[in-house]
Every structure is written in C-alpha cells, then in structure tokens.
Amino acid sequence: MSVYCRSSKQTVREPCRPVPVGALLLFVTLLLLALALAYFGAQVEPLTPALTLTEQEPRQASGYVSSLLRARIVQEDAEPALYYTVYEVREGDVVGRIAQRYDISQDAIISLNKLRSTRALQVGQLLKIPSVDGILYTVKNGDTFSSIAAAHQISLERLVLLNTPSSSKESPPSVRTLVSPFYNSAARESCVPFPFSSAKQWRENTSFDAVQPLQPARVLFLPGAHLSARALQEINGDLFRAPLRSRYYVSSRYGWRSDPFTGARSFHNGLDMVSRRGTPVYSALGGIVRTVGYSAVYGNYLIVGHHAGYQTLYGHLQTVLVSAGTRVTSATKIGLLGKTGRSTGPHLHFTIYKNGSAINPTSLLRMRTLP
C-alpha cells in the first residue's frame, strides 16, 4: 500500500516516506502522559502533615525497655492559631446556645471560664470563646504529651503543636468583643490570648520528646477533648435526682429563715420536701450508705457517701430500709417519708454536703424534678 502527499509545487501525487512506527508510538505515549499529569496533578493535594512521628528504640538498661517517641515539625501553617474571643452575656443566653453559635462544645466554654454552674450566668458577664474546640488541663506528676493524648483520645500532633512555646516574636491576634464595641480597648488590655503557638510560628525541624515528663501544675489546652459526663452533670446541675419521685412540694429551701418552732432567724442547710407519710425515698445518686441512726433533730436518718467528696442526708424518715455499708443507686429505695425528730409534719429533710460542708441542693438537682 502506497502513501501519497500533496506537493505545493506540483499537481501530481508522489509517494512520501513512511513515518517510523516507533516514533509515532513514542509521540502518542508522551502526549497521553502530559495530558494525564495536567488533569490529575491539578486535583491531587499534597500531603503535608504538621508532624512526622518516628519511633526510636533506646538502648536497654537493666532489662528496662521503653520506646521514645520523637516528633519533628516538617510543615508550617498546618494548624490555626489558638486564641479567644471575648463574648458578653446577654439576656436569655445559656452556655449551650452560645457554644452552638460558635460551633464549639459547651465543655470548652465551661473549662476556659472555670464555670462551676451553667445556671449562674449573669447579663454582662464576659466569657472567653476559644478559636479551637477543647478544654484546659492541669498537668499531674508523671504526665507526658503521649499519656495525656492517649487518656483523652486526642491527636498527639495537635496537642503538642498548640502547647509548645514559640520563639516567634509575632504579635498575637487581638481580642474582640462581639456585643459591646466600646469594650474592645479594655479587652485588649485585660484579656490576653492563649500563650500557645500557632503552626506558622514553628521553626522547621523543631523536635521534642513526646514521653518526656511535663512540669506538674502546667496548664495545657487539649484540642478536641471533652469534660467527663459526670463533670458535665455536676456543672449543668443535674448530677443528683430528687429523692422523692412522686408528687411533693418544697416547704423550706436552703438559706436563712425563721425557725418554725422558735421564730428566731436561723440557717436551713437543705430542702424540706413535703409529701404523704410513707412515700418512698430514693438515693439521689449512687454511692454507699455510710451512716444510719437517730437524732433529736433529724429523727430517723441516714447518710449516703458519693464520689468527689459528696454526701447526702435524708432526715425525719418513718422507716430506714437499708443498713450501713449497703451499695445503692439512684433507683434504690432507702426509706419511707415520715415526721420523726424535730418536725412540724410529714416531710423529708434533704441536705447535700461537699467535703463536709452543706451546699445549696438546687444547684445540683435536675431542674425538672423541682416544682
């Protein structure tokens, strides 16, 4: 088969030299490769981890073998700076809604502002809102970056990145107030952003020992960590259940009052919950019965010990249904309501103690259980 080409100077067809097959295949291959690189190269993002973790095995000494994690910074600007915004509480604000507005957990707001109760927010109160979700943590003896990250199930890389001092002299981001613009200048002076570095402030090849013990009492920011469920229950005021599960009303609350017998001003260290005689009384929280007894004031009473130094007292009982040493839950029936001791009528006297001191029960009881 002959191949012909048209000459610009002749009107007749003449045979042309055949194109080498090898050269043609090479050209097509290179063209396809160039097109593939142009297409896929624009869509594949390079992997740029903030830290590369390598494991080194130290020499054995006296049979003791440990592994040393060493992290090395290989990429800058991998993590945003950690700073906080100042928010002024408005009428109707609650911690949960504020957290939702900033797309962080309420744990972060509670921890950063050291809130003891989410029910105690006041209009005009200033709250720190972190740019990164997480909580504060105070280092204990023996803590390392590795152990803390493992205990809280968070990223070791992010933990170190946000908690390693920076040598950069960059000025920190300014603090701003979202509600009251006039407060900006005061906020900048009184509210200092976190003393933690951003990834941009890292120097390449900075390294650290992830299993080196940290200085006790040092405060760290744990990105992505949360408070325990029990801590949240306590702070949100729903740690304890009301000991009466049927209809009742509170005749006397925690605080100063006139003594029902003498009329003298006296301090009432609990709640008086009125209901019918014989009404079942339940433990407000799981624990162990510490004391069962009788006193001139409380009549038949018992005390249940709980975690973290909490104790609850149940007084004026008609009958006690448990004995000292019994392990109970919030579903355990521990007695029957009565009017024994110094009482004006059938009711339960309920007190919560924290480390031996009576505290206001209404700050820890679930709201729906109090009429």
Q: What is the pLDDT of residues 200-216, one digit of tens each?
A: 444 344 456 678 899 99
Q: What is the pLDDT of residues 188-202, one digit of tens each?
A: 433 334 444 444 444
In this structure, which CATH number among 3.30.70.520, 1.10.630.10, 2.70.70.10, 3.40.50.1950 belongs to the domain 249-369? 2.70.70.10
- Report whether 316 contacts 349 (CB < 8 A): yes
Phi, psi of 92 (to 5 degrees): 90, -5
Please give the model's pTM, rounded to 2 decimal places: 0.52
pLDDT at 39: 53
pLDDT at 25: 72
pLDDT at 240: 92
Angle at 184 between CA 179 and CA 187, to 5 degrees: 105
Q: In whole angstroms, what is the distance from residue 293 CA to residue 323 CA?
A: 10
Q: What is the pLDDT of residues 97-136, one digit of tens each?
A: 999 999 999 999 999 999 988 888 999 999 999 999 999 9
pLDDT confidence of 12, banded at 50, 70, 90? very low
Length of the chain equals 371
- H or E stretch at 228: none
17-31, 76-90, 153-167, range with greatest mean pLDDT? 153-167
- What is the overall mean pLDDT for the chain? 76
pLDDT at 167: 42
In this structure, which CATH number among 2.60.120.330, 1.10.30.50, 1.10.150.170, 3.10.350.10 belongs to the domain 67-236? 3.10.350.10
- DSSP label at 243? S
Q: In whole angstroms, what is the distance from residue 78 CA to residue 359 CA?
A: 47
Say if residue 239 is exposed, middle or buried (CB neighbours under 10 Å; 0-12, 13-18, 19+). buried
* Strand 265-268 to 333-337 pairing: unpaired
Domain edges within the chain:
67-236, 249-369
Positions of E strands within 57-138: 68-73, 84-88, 126-130, 134-138
pLDDT above 50: residue 263? yes
- DSSP label at 344? S
pLDDT confidence of 232, banded at 50, 70, 90? confident
pLDDT at 37: 56
- Report whether 348 contacts 333 (CB < 8 A): no
pLDDT at 239: 83
Q: In whole angstroms, what is the distance from residue 346 CA to residue 348 CA?
A: 7
Q: Please indicate whether residue 53 or residue 359 has the higher confidence score (pLDDT).
A: 359
Q: What is the DSSP string of 18-51?
A: PPPHHHHHHHHHHHHHHHHHHHHHTTPPPP--SE
